[in-house]
Amino acid sequence: MKPLDLSENAPWKERYTVPQAVWATVAAGNPARGLVCHNRTGKLQLYSWETASGALTQLTDRPKGQQVGVIDATGEFIYYLQDQAGNEQGHFVRVPFAGGEPQDITPSLALYSSWQISTSAAGSHLGFVASGREGFKLMVLEQAADGALGEPRCIWTSKALSTGPWLNHDGSVALVMTTERSGRNAYALLALDTRSGAILNEWEEAAASVSCGGLAPAAVGPLAAVTCNVSGHHRPFLWNWQTGTRTPIESEEFAGELQCLRFNQAGDALLLREAYRAQHRLYRYDLSDGRVRRLAIPEGSLGFMGGGAFFMPEGEIWLNWQSATTPAGVIAIDDQTGAFKRTVLAPGEVPASQAWRSVDIESTGGALIQAWVATPAGTGPWPLILHTHGGPTSVMTNAFHAEAQAWLDHGFAFMSVNYRGSITFGKAYEEAIWGNLGDWEIDDMAAARAWAVANGIAQPDAVLLIGGSYGGYLTLQALGRRPELWAGGMADVAIADWRLMYEDQAETLRGYQRALFGGGPETAGAAYDKSSPITYAAQYAAPLLVLQGRNDSRCPARQMEQFEAKLKDLGKTIELQWFDAGHGSYEVAERIDFQARRMAFAYRILG
């Protein structure tokens, strides 16, 4: 390890403060207007974006930042969920593209949670799925030509985890994904009449999941870009929601999981993103001849929370792009070849950073897991930071990670494990943990540690665990299940007790939890207990640091308070630091403080 540098001008802090467009998108029907999430004020906020000039206008100034938003198809309004101090429960509001005060679009409704809001291409309808203790409700609002909104109407309800909608051109049809049919984390796709709520068509696959990527422009007809993993991997289709016809999109180059991104404005081309063993590829599909072409994009990651590429005029495709050594920005590539053309939104400069390399590691049962590895200058072995991502329905890709580089600057090796349960490795890999959380994942973490030790990367007595959300859960679970392997753990917004968490969390997450476990605590109680770190508190041997949000509705406070009390009663070492926000922080200064706390904790443990 190098000397700990917590000085005001420490170089590692520059990677947190560097200006960057975390994500960007454009209005589907008006590419002159876009929406960007940027950190230029020291917090993530939303900005309207004039794509021709590059001008950004700040739209939000929320105390804890605002990371998620949507621009409507016409580019007139920006929508986001205005919650209470990061608790992800509130009302959708809208702001004009030019800026102004946010307008509550559902003042008559009780507070709700929601992951998505959609607008019709004609600008006539809005739709979102609102969740609360009574379940999931598909709400539709009509919008007049002058922008005036009607009252929200509930056209469909479900007790099961559901998301969407995707609206057709005139808003008469809404597509929604629901786990109602499967009872687990596998979706069916329904097409609903927005006037009556009647189901017009549906795509359900036994023991498989269907995912909607978007709808084609009206001129193309009633087509949705859809993926289904009935083959073992998500593969793309065009689905006619009127007739039910499914047209596969096929290529011999497909090897991983496909996601449908955006049609071009004419509707004759579609972008497809492939994730193969946590690495991104981009394809163009031409509807006229069924041709699929792989585009030669730079090595790195596309997009944030899905998406990542969209057609633009002048024969360009714009990418949300980043890599382990380059912060997030927007670049333009040729829409036929993928050749780099120019930088559209450039990030700031950062200190020289270490590249990541992908490795495959054999785990229990012969499972081949993937991990990213980076090492500092010099010769190993080094103290190792073993990281696990959140989700679990997620994946770590080759992305800019200020936290990882801070550890590398200080002489630590860094390793991020895409454990079983991660996406992009196929259906069997993702579903391996369903009903049995925190078991196979721990095996994979142990296998990664053993590989790092055997390959001269990790000092066996200096392996520290780190992760946030589900990754924080795995940190807690691993410290109790395999205490002999770890020198300590650091967890953000973590899960300690699945039962208590279920009682307190937002309905969106309760639905997700039921889908992962195959039921709630009342029907799957033994699995909830087996998977809870609090069950293994007595086995803890290493110290633990937890950074937890007071207003977190995903991983609520009470379960962590009780976990802390139990560890202390048992004489274990836990440091619990609370922060006044929800499921993480969007403030640059606070994120720097978190990393300083983690490094100080690690240095105390390792001496």
N- to C-terminal Cα separation, the chain? 10
Residues 84-117 pLDDT 10s = 877 788 999 999 999 999 999 999 999 999 989 9
pLDDT of res. 350: 95
* Cβ-based neighbour number of residue 220 at 10 Å: 16
pLDDT of res. 115: 87
Distances (CA, A) of 373 to 211, 355, 448, 451: 31, 9, 10, 11
The string of DSSP letters for 353-397 reads: -PPPEEEEEE-GGG-EEEEEEE--SS-S-EEEEEEE-S-SS----
Six-digit token string for 290? 């069924």
Burial 170-195 (b: 16+ CB within 10 A, else e): ebbbbbbbbbbbbebbbbbbbbbebe
| Residue 421, phi-psi category: left (phi > 0), alpha (psi -120 to 50), beta (remainder) | left
Residues 280-314 pLDDT 10s = 999 999 999 999 999 999 999 998 645 689 999 99
* Cβ-based neighbour number of residue 291 at 10 Å: 11
Six-digit token string for 179? 């786990």
pTM: 0.92
Spell out, as residue ranges, where the chain has pLDDT lower than 70. Answer: 304-307, 582, 584
Rg of the chain taking only CA atoms, in angstroms: 23
DSSP label at 110? P
With tokens 């946030």, the residue in question is 468
Count of residues for the chain? 607
Cα gap 183→513, rounded to integer Å: 11
pLDDT of res. 229: 95
Cα gap 176→158, rounded to integer Å: 11
pLDDT of res. 496: 94
Residues 405-460 pLDDT 10s = 999 999 999 999 999 999 989 999 999 999 999 999 999 999 999 999 999 999 99
Asked if residues 373 and 457 have their Cβ atoms less than 8 Å apart, the reply is: yes
Asked if residues 588 and 43 have their Cβ atoms less than 8 Å apart, the reply is: yes
Cα gap 109→195, rounded to integer Å: 20
Asked if residues 33 and 314 have their Cβ atoms less than 8 Å apart, the reply is: no
Cα gap 550→558, rounded to integer Å: 9
Domains annotated on the chain, with CATH = 249-348 (2.120.10.30), 357-606 (3.40.50.1820)
Strands 544-549 and 574-579: parallel
